[in-house]
A and B are shown apart, each in its own frame.
Chain A
Amino acid sequence: MTEVNEAANARDRAVPDQARPTLRGLDEKQALRCAADVLDEVAWQGAELNPDAITAADFLALL
């Protein structure tokens, strides 16, 4: 191993896990919410639209 590589590895070890987001993007307020609520919300942001949460005009603009 070269000196340069060793120095780089040492830097990586020194920059630690605290830079990694702990809750995968969710803030604490969100983390405290009922898991089912969050999952429900996330599910609707996927392939399917929530017809209760979108106006007819906005929905039909997708067609």
Chain B
Amino acid sequence: MTRQELASPPVASEVDSLQRGLQILRSFRNGEKSLRLADIVARTKIPRQTAQKLLNTLTAHHFLRHLPELDRYEPDVSCFVLGHALLASLTILRVSRPAMQALAGELGVHVFLAVREGMDMMIVEYCSARGEVAEFSVGSLLPLAQTAAGRAWLWAQKPAVQGDYVERIRGEGDADAMSAVPGIYRAFQDLAERGYCLSLGERTQDLQGIAVPLPPAGGREVFTLTALASEQKLKDSVFRGKVASGLLDAAARIKRELPRAEEA
């Protein structure tokens, strides 16, 4: 066996151009079809001339498409194939989907699977309640500190990691973040006692979530499974109990089937 080759140290300006180019792609948020150069400059703080060169590169590689008549840019087919390559390789999606669909169908709740992305939780699979319009889609981000999904993720981390995140949430300093901290500890208590947590009454939207953590897939990331329903529906303790036990059953089923699927 040879000693593992070390990569040469990164060159600062190189990292910068790569990161900035990808930052432009990240600035296309959920639900926005196209952006103008000015929008991109405003969001990313990248100088206009540099941004134009990065946009040319992204366009040449089909990550963005330029709409000449409107002088706008929109994500192109490379974003699509990259995202689908990733989704196709997540075994946990394949294993979770039937359980999620069953839950969404039986209880009329939206069900999603999420994983941490920075200080947010990112949705990787979404089943909407039968006959209802989807509230989110794959790739949607939800704030980690304020959601049941994020709190369930945090609960599944080692104490040192939990401490780091709580510090970072406090460090953000705004009122929302500060008020989230007691909610996080309440969620931890619920998770320890009952195996799930709720985000009742803490979101501005009228949808509320109940979440459970899933075992790390392939020894890596922790995914969380969330059921969303209207605040009014979830106030009914019988309904809430049904959703919670449905989620716990689904999580147990996924936990059972995942190792076998990962080997296959």
Is B a genuine binding partner of A?
A: no
> A interface vs B, CB < 8 Å?
none
